[in-house]
Amino acid sequence: MPSLSPSTPLLPADPHSYAQGPPLPHLHLELTIDFARQTLSGSATWQLAEPLTATQDLVLDTRELLIEQVQVGDVAGGEPLAYSLSAPDAVLGQAFRVALPAGATALRISYRTSPGAAALQWLAPAQTAGQHPFLFTQSQAILARTWLPCPDSPGCRFTYEAAVEIIGPERGQLLALMSAENPQATAPDGRYRFRQRQPVPAYLLALAVGRLDFAPLSGRTGIYAEPATLPLARAEFSELNRMVEADEQLYGAYRWGRYDLLVLPASFPFGGMENPCLTFVTPTILAGDRSLTSLVAHELAHSWSGNLVTNATWNDFWLNEGFTVYFERRIMEQLYGKPYAQMLQVLGEADLRHTMQELGRDSPATHLRLHLAGRDPDEGLNDIAYEKGCLLLLTVEQLVGRPRLDAFITEYFARFAFQRMDTDRFADYLTRTLLTPAEAHRLNLPAWLDGPGLPPEAPQAQSARFVAVDDALARLAAGTSPAALRPITTEWSSQEWEHFLRGLPPTLTADGLARLDATFQFTASGNAELLAAWFPLALRAGYQPADAALEKFLRQVGRRKFLVPLYRALLAAPGGRARARKIYQQARPNYHAVATTTLDALLRQAEC
């Protein structure tokens, strides 16, 4: 594409975005939701910061959108404009280019989504907990462009308002929600209006539509869920407001008004998505004992790290997630004590070591600063950004002390609120404002940011509560029966059971698993984390009584964190390739595109 004049105010450069041109501070979205055709149609009107003094190019991101009309101004009937679309790119989609005339203050783009839009998942009633269809979006990392033309870069922020209309026979029974100020009851005419007063990047645009009810938890927190799910969700997240208060005590005021949760159907590909005002969460964390709510603490922490101060590009993703994991564990420590947070840290570091082993300890993919140009940024969103980023902050904490680090983080969130942050800028700010020269030398920040693996000074967590678990594992290995271990396991948390399952030897036989299962009923567990740790053991040992539960899990659950290791374990088992293909063929329609993109490649590679 031809370059713009150096004097032109540009949207920030991003290797995963075509966007160029004048800043676009506000979006007005008008959408019609058609479940029968599985499309969104309407218009996206982008407001300019000020009238243009001369003709200027604007370039936006799109992918598989049908552009119907482009007009100057913010109302229908404006002057039509010619536009062009670049050749499709498998990762980036198409660049939408238009020449804006002098005097332009807004651009209105009428368009329609394709039924296969990657951000949109349309669910039939049988795929939900009720009797009605469901729609939800997943815009991160660069999928917002599949449901509206936009500057699809985390470095570009805008406020937005939206008018949404649901059409079809169920319009009066379905509630629409967005990452904005939301209604709490269904509109009989199927029409809803939204406003997000704080500037957000495109990946935080979110929409969900379904048969949903609302339960308040406090004056500023509550739960949306399908009616059958709401009672369990309300009990599971009863301490949500305490989490918000704990966050504020740590790092300053919550800046987004309300904080509500939406429990999605099980096909949601992630544990959670930190959409402003309305975090999307998976029902796989509804364990019945609040043992998996650290995920909610993580998504809530994004209201500061990520939503408030945002990675400039996906190469800087660790700035979102490293801070958020550190923040999450501080929240859980404040609410439930240091021993609980230590368990989370040990499990997280174990995940990190596993990821580094898969990637190769000397691989550039283990650097905190990523180089994802030419690749789908989703490929870089793994435990390196999360857990290595957290370990960097824990190393700084050990170096300067927690009070100094807390003061720095609080000031950092306040100073850079609603701004983008890149790795170099952060490194410079950390070095100038927090670290002495001696401390900076000891930290060796370049080794963390641009070096492979973990620097030797990285701390290693220990958990006193896991010592008892390790003792139980040693006794089991020495011949103690599972039944004899029951008295010491009655008060174990989900994390202790997960550590126990991870610690079982890979050589355990089907008979050994049968004895464990008879005592602890792992196959019948309602805890998704435990099932995800149990099923690979069963597959490796050929423990057939778990087969039906595994297949049910894979057909119902769409969370990629679970699916990828389970399909890998299935593919590695005797006769597993044929089973994996059969299950995947049945289950694939229930998975989001974020999951199927990864799993398609995994199964394709297995055939080579």
Q: Which amino acids are annotated catalytic? A: 299, 386
Reported as type and span, the H/E element at residue 520 is: helix 510-520
CA dist 44 to 53, 85, 110, 227, 493, Å?
23, 17, 7, 33, 48
* Structure token digits, residue 378: 């989703």
Tell me the backbone φ, ψ of residue 85, rounded to 5 degrees: -120, 135
SS3 category, 272: strand
Please name which of 296, 369, 379 lies closest in space to residue 332, comparing C-alpha atoms.
296
CA dist 419 to 64, 195, 294, 359, 370, Å?
30, 20, 27, 32, 20
Q: Are 452 and 362 contacting, i.e. CB atoms less than 8 angstroms apart?
A: yes
Q: Are 105 and 48 contacting, i.e. CB atoms less than 8 angstroms apart?
A: yes
DSSP labels, 453-484:
S--TT------HHHHHHHHHHHHHHTT--HHH
Please name which of 385, 451, 424 lies closest in space to residue 141, comparing C-alpha atoms.
385
Distance (Å, whole) CA 32 – CA 111 = 11
Tell me the backbone φ, ψ of residue 349, rounded to 5 degrees: -70, -35
Q: Which residues pair with 31 in a beta bridge?
A: 42, 164
Tell me the backbone φ, ψ of residue 411, rounded to 5 degrees: -70, -35
Return the biggest CA–CA distance within the chain. 82
